Amino acid sequence: MSVRVRFAPSPTGALHIGGVRTALYNYLYAKKNGGSFILRIEDTDQNRFVDGAEEYIRESLKWCGVEPDEGVEQGGEFGPYRQSERKEIYHKYAQKLVDAGKAYYAFDTPEELDAMRERLKEARVANPQYNSITRTQMKNSLTLSEEEVKQRIDSGEPYVIRAKLPRNEEVRFRDIVRDWVVVNTITLDDKILMKSDGMPTYHLANIVDDHLMQISHVIRGEEWLPSAPLHVLLYDFFGWDRPEFAHLPLLLKPDGNGKLSKRAADKMGFPIFPLNWIDPQTQEESIGFREKGYLPEALINFLALLGWNPGTEEELFSMSDLIEKFSLERINKGGAKFDIEKAKWFNQQYIKEKPNSVLVAMMTEQLELTDRSIDMERVVQAMKERITFVSDIKESGNFFFEAPSEYDEKTARKRWTTQGVQVIESFASALEEMNEINGDEAKSLLVTILEKDEVPMGRVMPAIRLSLTGQGGGPDLMEIISILGPEESAGRIRRAVAALSEFVKD
């Protein structure tokens, strides 16, 4: 049997990062098994439809490198891939169930449904449901005569179609992650399959499409596990083979305390969406992982390990490594803590490995550089081991672009000595003689001066660094001198000496 999996988001807003993980696991499983990954847009809930959400989902998947083989954009043999374009199909299948006695028409008004729930509550029924018991008291094609049903439908009375669940039956299926799931139908209700607006509900559309699109494995978030018994029953009602199921563990807040929500992420100051998103209703703007400065490879590596483990201590996986190693059997049951610090760590690792030219291109998009010409590739090389995001180069390496206007006071107090100032002034003079300088040359120039006065290197280096960068720490000092150039470096030393005179001590 060929592997066919799908990611089936509803375009109700921005794609949550948990959705990206679901898409990723589907993608990995498809690629691992030479199968197909399908993107199906589940847009049958007209009330929750949000403009731009579908495009956002597609763009997000593209950015992450999780591209569908079949879908709204790619097309394919099993289309259309947007459920709103498949309405007729669902009608046909709903009708089949009604004809087979597995589903029925229900005409109850919202008031009648409320009254039923009230009655049950009064009778101390904990979880009032429209089910095998209550349906016998309601207005539906099980209680009304055939003639009356026909007449109501013909006269245009609104109705829904409900699944007719058996009274007391065990539904069993084996989930690849959770193992056996056993539920008695007594706990389930007669879910609506077709709504009064003529649209199918998620449950009907989802299983009809999974069947027609020949989905072999349903890999989705754990929040759908409670719906799975109904889905299994529907497969059985239709006489269709069931797909395999794998329900992925929840994503938890970084401290493991509860579900990862947008609110929690906002509070802790990290993104929850892959790309920037402006909510069309509220105009609220949310920053995406991409705009925050995460590389897609880093995000993918991080997400892959949130709920799956390779069975080794290895942590760094490219997409092709993941495809090779991935298996549904190694998905964890327990919720996965969304440890954002780990995400940052992955970003650092991938930034270190990126070619300088790529990082420069990313930077120039973000920077408004002063006109002083500077070798950006060298700046990037000097900084790339020390940053989490490319934007950090501009922040903690701002001295490459602008001379410091302030100096770290603690360093000044500690490191600004009469002797040190003398040495760095001589160093400035020596630099002024040069047009350009590499790191080794800068070092031997300094060593020559130091040797003459018998001053240890460690005593003046912090003062030079302070003069050039305003900071107490940073990348290799001689490399900084070389990148800034001798003239700029000397000028900065002179300015620091003038600015910090009050700190001079013996």
251 binds ligand GLU (CB under 6 A): no
The nearest distance, CB 173 to ligand GLU, in angstroms, is 14
Indicate the DSSP class of residue 192.
E
How many residues interact with ligand GLU (rule CB under 6 A)?
8
* Residue with smaller CB distance to ligand GLU, 9 or 475: 9
Residues 56, 14: contact at Cβ < 8 Å? yes
Q: Which residues 198-217 are close enough to bind ligand GLU by CB under 6 A?
A: 202, 206
Q: How far is it, in rounded angstroms, from Cα 16 to Cα 18?
A: 5
* Residue with smaller CB distance to ligand GLU, 219 or 442: 219
Letters for 214-243 (x = contact with ligand GLU by CB under 6 A, - = none) are ------x---x-------------------
Which positions ≥6 away from 52 have C-beta within 8 Å? 280
* Residue with smaller CB distance to ligand GLU, 9 or 397: 9
Question: Of the listed 262, 292, 354, 443, which one is catalytic?
Answer: 262
Q: How far is it, in rounded angstroms, from Cα 147 to Cα 226?
A: 36
* Residue with smaller CB distance to ligand GLU, 144 or 336: 336
Torsion of CA 425, 431, 437, 443, to 10 degrees: -40
Q: How far is it, in rounded angstroms, from Cα 32 to Cα 323?
A: 5
Letters for 41-70 (x = contact with ligand GLU by CB under 6 A, - = none) are -x----------------------------
Q: How far is it, in rounded angstroms, from Cα 191 to Cα 187?
A: 12
* Residue with smaller CB distance to ligand GLU, 279 or 451: 279
Q: How far is it, in rounded angstroms, from Cα 417 to Cα 460?
A: 9
Reduce the DSSP state of residue 265 to 3 states and report it: helix
The nearest distance, CB 176 to ligand GLU, in angstroms, is 15
The one among 3, 4, 5, 8 contacting ligand GLU by CB under 6 A: 8
Q: Which of these ranges, 8-16, 28-36, 326-334, 484-492, lies near ligand GLU under the rule CB under 6 A?
A: 8-16
Q: Which of these ranges, 3-11, 135-143, 394-402, 469-477, lies near ligand GLU under the rule CB under 6 A?
A: 3-11
Q: Which of these ranges, 6-14, 57-65, 260-268, 296-304, lies near ligand GLU under the rule CB under 6 A?
A: 6-14
The nearest distance, CB 31 to ligand GLU, in angstroms, is 19
Q: Which of these ranges, 2-10, 169-177, 232-240, 357-365, lies near ligand GLU under the rule CB under 6 A?
A: 2-10
Residues 162, 144: contact at Cβ < 8 Å? no
* Residue with smaller CB distance to ligand GLU, 234 or 428: 234
Q: Which of these ranges, 4-12, 92-100, 246-254, 275-283, lies near ligand GLU under the rule CB under 6 A?
A: 4-12
Indicate the DSSP class of residue 210.
H
164 catalytic residue (yes or no): no
C-alpha dist (Å) from residue 325 to 1, 26, 38 = 21, 14, 21
Residues 325, 310: contact at Cβ < 8 Å? yes
Q: Give the residue carrying structure tokens 């889905």.
A: 231
10 binds ligand GLU (CB under 6 A): yes
Nearest to 188 by CA among 210, 206, 208, 170: 170
Which positions ≥6 away from 114 have C-beta within 8 Å? none
Residues 196, 132: contact at Cβ < 8 Å? no
The nearest distance, CB 223 to ligand GLU, in angstroms, is 8
Residue 142's identity, in one-letter code, is L
- Residues labelled catalytic: 262
Name the site residues for ligand GLU (rule: CB under 6 A). 8-10, 42, 202, 206, 220, 224
